[in-house]
Structure 1
Amino acid sequence: MKRHVLALLLLPAMLAGGGVSGFAQDVDGREGVGAWVKAGQVEARLVSAVRATGDLTALPLGLELRLEPGWKTYWRTPGDAGFAPRLDWSRSNNLGGATLSYPAPHRFSVLGFETAGYDTAVLFPIQGTPTTPGKPVDLALSAELLVCSEICVPQTLDLALALPAGPAGPSEVANDVARAQALVPKGPNGLLRIESVQGKGGALEVEATAIDGFVTPDLFVETDPPLTFSAPKAVFSDNDRHVRLTLAVTDPSPGLDLSGRAMTLTLVDGDKAVEAPVTASAGSGASGGGGAGLAAMLGVALLGGLVLNLMPCVLPVLSLKLMSVVKHGGRAPAAVCAGFLASAAGILASFLLMASVLVGVKAAGGAVGWGIQFQQPLFLVFMVVLVTLFSANLWGLFEVPLPRVLADRLGGDGLAGPFATGMFATLLATPCSAPFLGTAVGFALSKGPVEIYAIFATLGVGLALPYLAVAAWPRVAGWLPRPGRWMATLKIVLGFALMLTALWLLSVLTAQIGEVAAATVGLLMAALVLALWVGRSARGAARAAGPMLAGVLAIVAFAMPAVVGPSAGAAPVAGDSKARWVPFAEPTIREHVAAGRTVFVDVTADWCITCQANKKLVLNRGEVAQRLEESGVVAMRADWTRPDAAIAKFLADHGRYGIPFNIVYGPGAPDGIALPELLSDGAVLEALSKAAGRAS
């Protein structure tokens, strides 16, 4: 009814203004910028982010509007009245197609009527597709717009823009087009998230979260067939980081029930926006078009934990795993089962401990992510000390005797050792992401404590599956050689392997506290081993002096980050000679893409072994390195060795909370092509070609 009443009220004005065609106001002749055309209360022009077509298969264009004060035009779903821009490109030459995108709209509420659109000015991004790339493109657009104030006037504007053949360098409006593209709502990001959608008859209840807190949230609902909704009523909680938005259909039909209906939601809060296809549920949850339920994510987490056993990140713990396996050779099946179950329990306990820390940090408003413990100098010192002690233990320099009662309860040789080995192996195996793992962790960290604990527990089960398999079939251990003198030699070799792990940790620590401080920690660890060796060889009271001195040296090592400072003298990540890497700067990515360049972003860290493997095996060699050296490619490196809020936000915006993360942007992929955790030459080259807008 509202729509019909409004149409009758506005009909005289529409008839009076209908069919008015725009006329050229000026011709500025600048490359990539069309002439302004004015029609009544609106003027418009076509613009391009590039001066010429180059060899692009996707042209970054824009339709720019300016409206007189008090006038507005409409979004793709206008609401109670109005209509979206209607564009006719049929008179263009060498244009195969043009796709217009809509920046996040504003709400206009007048006399109970709710509409969505734009006032003052707006630039609609357009992706144009040349019929023949490399040839000139002559754009001719007939744009039919409805502009409204107290009255509404339809206007038709004839616009033109000629793009010659030639290098696709950036035009003077490239930044404006890039900013307009950034304002177009996209899929899930780390800033805003729609958590649940519930349909209750003709009403809709939407739960949403914002990592930085909401200011003025608004929600636009699109359905098929179309329905119009009231402005949302908001109820805030969790320091404005959570909001419940309630909307009602303005003209509900009898028996209308929104539960089970598919719709598209656009959540807007200032300059932030997110778009999500969802299905409203009748219960307390919602089905998101691109999301997965907790049950599906648990399956992904199980696979992620299992695959983590095969990642380069676990190389430092192979010594511990091998030692735990060979110790069970020739043992009774019950003892083998108990030992492997203890290791699995240690892995699970370690994951639950990490989940508890992440829940606490998130509740305190801090940034969370997978492997972020390796950004903390104290944690690195702790791991260096622990690895050194493990090595010294394997070399027979000290033993940790348990009280007799506890040792008996733990079953002879004890289960504390396997349990501690499982925990320690987990801590060393989790600085890097893995296939499936990143998806599961991203899902968990964007949710609440229940999901975080569930996902991390399942990851632990996945990582522990090899141990659980041996525990289920303990006779497998019977295939191993029986313990003997050969184990003494094996222990020495594995001890040196762990010391190599300590050296790697010290190299990571160097980026945190500087070379001098990290070298001091290394010398303290060498002195610790020497003290244990001297104490082991001494007699009487002097025998206890060695372990006591080792304890003092460990405490002094822990004091080094506090004395020196967390970043004093820290060394930057060494640049790679194989490519001209530039520092990460997210705002410049859109500018490079608008200028026709391809941007390869590598989010890496010194502590991420998988990242280092990707560099050595793929990025720094062969055809990939040559492509990254090309003039039209920008190789951008984001160093996450130390905490960096901009990098953490970039990862969260892409639903990632761990590294490695590599993504390629370009004219053919302005939203980016995310690559798998383990890179291959083929995957990188294919993404670079697609992003550049040409066949691989």
Structure 2
Amino acid sequence: MKRYASLAVVLLGAVTLGLTATPPAKAQEAQTPWTKAGPVEARLVSSVRGTGDLTALPLGLELRLEPGWKTYWRSPGDAGFAPRLDWTGSMNLKDAALSYPAPHRFSVLGFETAGYDVEALFPIRATPAEPGKPVDLTLNAELLVCSEICVPQNFKLALALPAGPADPSESANDVARAQALVPRQDNGLLTVDAVRASGAALEVEATAAEGFVSPDVFVETDPPLSFSAPKTVFLDNDRRVRMTLQMTDAPQGLDLAGRALTLTLVDGARAVEAPATAVPGVGAASGGLAAMLGVALLGGLILNLMPCVLPVLSLKLLSVVKQGGRAPRAVRAGFLASAAGILTSFLLLASALVAVKAAGGAVGWGIQFQQPLFLVFMVVLVTLFSANLWGLFEVPLPRALADRLDGDGLAGPFATGAFATLLATPCSAPFLGTAVGFALAKGPLEVFAIFAALGVGLASPYLLVAAWPRVAGWLPRPGRWMATLRVVMGFALALTALWLLSVLTVQIGGAAAVGVGLLMLGLVAALGIGRRLPAAGRRAGPALAGLLAVAAFVLPAAVGPSAAPVTESAARWVPFSEAAIREQVAAGRSVFVDVTADWCITCQANKKLVLNRGAVAARFDDPALIAMRADWTRPDEAIARFLADHGRYGIPFNIVYGPGAPQGIALPELLGEAAVIEALDRAAGAQRTAARP
């Protein structure tokens, strides 16, 4: 009996030991522990727990990088090297082929590299020497990881896969997702249509059935060559793009025509690999320019309906009304003069942009409103127009920017057209951003051609009346009622001056902006008082007004810029940081980026009508959504580069990032609640794989 009791104790101990001992976790059977080296940690994972009878084993090299660090693609670009894997010491391994998911671009100090940050999983296809038998893997991996410095890191990883059923492991879905991100040929989503070469420049045309969002292209050649980031032009409602790349440090006389290339076209989670041979690109862009001229013409026409141009309607209305009862010849001349003022202003603006671009500065639509002196000039100009409409002065000389708006001369209509152009530049109308982006990505010829077409589009109403001057005969004849209309229109322009002062407040501070406003009040008072003085002293009023105008220009330089106040409405918004976008998306959050400026009236309309009200404002309270604001009121190189990377040179620009749209979903210039909500839903659609210990 005692012997049986002892046996029972032994058996009970064995059972207890079996219950309390920690068995090997199933996840451990198909993956190695995380191994950390500096700012990166790595592990080797398998999609299957056993070799089964598979002739190819799906594996993966998984990396996690600390924020701000990156590693490289198979063609790293201007610097770096791809992962180097050595399988020496592995048992029953015939071959192991590493694949690369689609990379993203890193642009730093003019250097272009391609790779991965935050995390990456490289699919590996391992071929056993004898299928069905155990495979013991020994991997020596050398990686280059870079932040402000570059550090090579080495990992030694070992993974044993036993013979047995090839059941899926916990890493199977991760490896499958990574394999799906590897670009392949003819995926049906993206198509490279043409590759043209002209010297050291490449032009790539591509289409996307569902439209492009943020396309990029990487070029591989043998021997390797380095290329700049592409300048992208969106066509056919974003379903087609034309990307222009320039080879960096190109040898003199090099011509890429006839050279074999491998292109990797990436747009968010979509990517395609396309072998190609570059064909000569003589005259390649001519058809694109012709089509874009039509887009620019339409964009300029629509610009007449945008809120930025509404303040100048006072001058338009007066210029139209005073045509009532006039001879067709006089009507035609007046409207042609207004059209000439618009076209001249657009060409002058194009000249300024070409000069700034040639000097290496940031260019964009409406960037002159970032300069305090330009804002002061506009405040003074609008104030003078208002004073003229109120009858405080009449100067029949072209050297005064406000000419006689009632006279028969052509300088007044010409100035009206130029003034309309100046007030139109803070706005971005549909089609206008596409045309301006195309022009600024090209050379001076395209810039002047596109801006001329924009000017013709904005001047189309004037040209229409000039072509059929009898339209003016339908208008009421001028009379005393026009005096009241002039006063009302003068106050409309005064409101424009107040808006300009509110923009100036952000640039130079509230006290200085109030000072400019008081100087303008003094200018109007000086003109009014001077008009009532005897003939001998009437020059004193304009002279004093001139001194006050000069003082207004001196004030911003004397005071300097100040910090912009933070308003309560901006409390939910975080400052723009392109690096933070990827970090937030990697953490499973969505990011809504609003590139805006106080001088952009369309931006303010978007905020008031869509972003700050209703379902969109409620959505911004979601902690899983980061609202990020890029304030371009003042010059900002990072924001200008962000816009240029997306082929945009004007604002508003809104784009949504998220797990379902890591490369972003660009929104139209004029926002609608449904479009914003749909983009937010699409961006949040894919859930990021939960972080693993």
TM-score (norm 2): 0.68
1:138 maps to which residue? none
Task: Kindly provide the amino acid, as one letter, of the partner of residue 680 in structure 1.
Answer: G
Matches within 5 A, 1:92-171: 100-102=101-103, 124=120, 143-144=125-126, 162=170
1:629-685 deviation line (CA, Å, top 9, x unaligned): 111110111111111111111111111111000000001100000000000001000
The counterpart of 1:45, out of the listed 49, 54, 61, is 61
Deviation at 1:71, TM superposition (A): 8.2
Give, in angstroms, the shift of residue 206 of structure 1: 3.2
Quote the residue 1:27 is aligned against.
33
**8 A contact 1:143–1:156 mirrored in 2:** no
Pairing 1:375–2:370 present: yes
Alignment check: 8 A CA contact 1:101 1:124 kept: no
Contact 2:308 2:426 in 1 (8 A): yes
Residue 653 of structure 2 corresponds to residue 652 of structure 1? no
Among 564, 568, 571, which residue is 1:571 paired with?
Answer: 564
Is 1:482 the counterpart of 2:477? The answer is yes
Secondary structure at the counterpart of residue 569 of structure 2: coil
2:411 partner letter: A
**Matched letter for residue 617 of structure 1:** L
Secondary structure of the equivalent of 1:370? coil
Query: In the superposition, relative to structure 1, how do residues 163 and 540 fare at CA in structure 2: closer, same or farther (>3 Å)?
Result: same
Partner residue, 1:282: 280
The equivalences for 1:213-362 within 5 A come to 220-221=219-220, 229-232=222-225, 244=250, 258=258, 265=263, 280-286=278-284, 293-362=288-357
Q: Deviations over 1:65-97 (max 9, x none)?
A: 9xxx998469xxxxxxxx99477xxxxxxxxxx
CA contact 2:196–2:203 (8 Å) conserved in 1: no
Match of 2:136 in 1: none
**2:64 touches 2:118 (CA, 8 Å); kept in 1?**
no
Residue equivalent to 1:416? 411
The residue number in structure 2 matching 1:610 is 602
2:592 maps to 1:591: no
Contact 1:279 1:286 in 2 (8 A): no
Write the letter of the residue equivalent to 1:572.
P
Shift of 1:401: 2.2
How is 1:492-511 mapped onto 2 (pairs within 5 angstroms)?
492-511=487-506
Q: 1:157/1:537 Cα in 2 relative to 1: closer, same or farther (>3 Å)? A: farther
User: Does the 8 Å contact 1:143/1:157 carry over to 2?
Assistant: no
* Structure 1 partner of 2:464: 469
- CA separation in 1, counterparts of 2:539 and 2:509? 34
Counterpart in 1 of 2:12? none
Whole-Å separation in 2 of the counterparts to 1:309 and 1:277 = 46
> Is this contact kept in 2: 1:675–1:684, CA < 8 A?
yes
Per-residue deviation, 1:124: 4.8
Instruction: Tell me the TM-score normalised to structure 1 length.
Output: 0.67
The answer on 1:445 being equivalent to 2:440 is yes
1:525 aligns with 2:526: no
Amino acid at match of 2:196: V
Instruction: Output the CA distance in 2 between the equivalents of 1:462 and 1:544.
Output: 41
Deviation string 1:196-229 (CA, Å, 9 cap, x unpaired) is 8338xxxx853599xxxxxxxx9844xxxxxx74
SS at match of 1:379: helix
Whole-angstrom distance in 1 between the partners of 2:420 and 2:290? 27
Q: Does 1:434 align with 2:429?
A: yes
Q: Is contact 1:72–1:119 with CA below 8 Å preserved after alignment?
A: no
Q: How does 1:383-394 map to 2 (within 5 A)?
A: 383-394=378-389
| Residue 103 of structure 1: how far off its partner (Å) | 6.1
Q: Is the 8 A contact 1:23 1:37 kept in 2?
A: no
Where structure 1 has 5 or more consecutive residues not aligned to the other structure, the ranges are 1-21, 51-61, 75-82, 88-98, 106-116, 127-140, 150-154, 166-170, 172-176, 185-194, 210-217, 222-227, 250-256, 269-273, 404-409
Contact 2:600 2:651 in 1 (8 A): yes
- 1:80 is aligned to none
**1:118 & 1:556 partners in 2: Cα distance?**
52
Specify whether residues 367 and 276 from structure 1 end up closer, same or farther in structure 2 by C-alpha distance, changes over 3 A only. farther
Equivalent pair of 1:380/1:505 in contact (CA under 8 Å): yes
- On the 8 A contact 2:338/2:462 being kept in 1, the answer is yes
Cα offset, 1:596, TM superposition:
1.0
**What's 1:77 paired with?**
none
CA distance in 1, matches of 2:117, 2:653: 37
2:539 aligned counterpart, secondary structure: helix
Equivalent-residue separation in structure 2 for 1:532 and 1:118 (angstroms): 63
1:198 matched to 2:197: yes
Q: Secondary structure at the match of 1:673?
A: strand
Quote how far apart the aligned CAs of 1:432 are. Answer: 2.1
Per-residue deviation, 1:101? 2.1
Match of 1:133 in 2: none
Q: Secondary structure at the match of 2:535?
A: coil
1:144 Cα deviation from its structure 2 partner: 3.3
Contact 2:103–2:114 under 8 Å retained in 1: no
Please tell me whether the aligned partners of residues 665 and 671 of structure 1 are also in contact (alpha carbons under 8 angstroms): yes
CA gap 1:145/1:296 in 2 versus in 1, 3 angstroms: farther
How much does 1:524 deviate? 0.4
Contact 1:470 1:477 in 2 (8 A): yes
| Mapped partners of 2:587, 2:118: distance in 1 | 21
How far off its partner does 1:573 sit?
A: 5.2
Deviates more, 1:488-497 or 1:636-645: 636-645
Q: Deviation of residue 548 (structure 1)? A: 0.7
Report if the CA contact (8 A) 2:573-2:629 is conserved: yes
> Match of 1:328, SS?
coil
Matched position secondary structure for 2:521? helix
Displacement of 1:285 after TM fit?
Answer: 4.5
Q: Is the 8 A contact 2:104 2:114 kept in 1?
A: no
In 2, the alpha carbon distance for the partners of 1:64 and 1:428 equals: 47
Return closer, same or farther for 1:303/1:651 CA change in 2, 3 Å cut-off. Answer: same
CA distance in 1, matches of 2:116, 2:496: 61
Aligned partners of 1:354, 1:49: CA distance in 2, in Å? 46
Unpaired runs of 5+ in structure 2? 1-27, 47-58, 75-80, 87-94, 107-112, 129-138, 142-157, 184-193, 205-216, 229-245, 267-271, 399-404, 688-693
How far 1:320 moved relative to its partner?
1.6
Q: Distance in 1 between matches of 2:360 and 2:539?
A: 46
Q: Name 2:660's counterpart in structure 1.
A: 668
CA shift for structure 1 position 283 = 4.4
Deviation at 1:46, TM superposition (A): 3.4
The 1:482–1:281 alpha-carbon spacing in structure 2 relative to 1, beyond 3 Å, is farther
CA separation of 1:414 and 1:85: change in aligned 2, threshold 3 A: farther
Report the alpha carbon displacement of residue 315 of structure 1 after superposing the two structures with TM.
1.9
**What is the CA-CA distance between 1:163 and the residue it aligns to?**
7.3
Per-residue deviation, 1:234: 10
Percent of aligned pairs with the same residue? 63
Mapped contact 1:532–1:550 kept (Cα < 8 A): yes
- CA distance in 1 between counterparts of 2:369 and 2:506 reads 11
Contact 2:97 2:124 in 1 (8 A): no
Alpha-carbon distance in structure 1 between the residues aligned to 2:278 and 2:406: 55
1:552 to partner: Cα distance: 0.7
Q: Which amino acid aligns with 2:564?
A: A
CA distance in 2, matches of 1:348, 1:613: 27
1:543 counterpart = 2:543: no
The one-letter code of the counterpart of 2:363 is: V
Counterpart pick for 2:44 among 13, 22, 36: 36
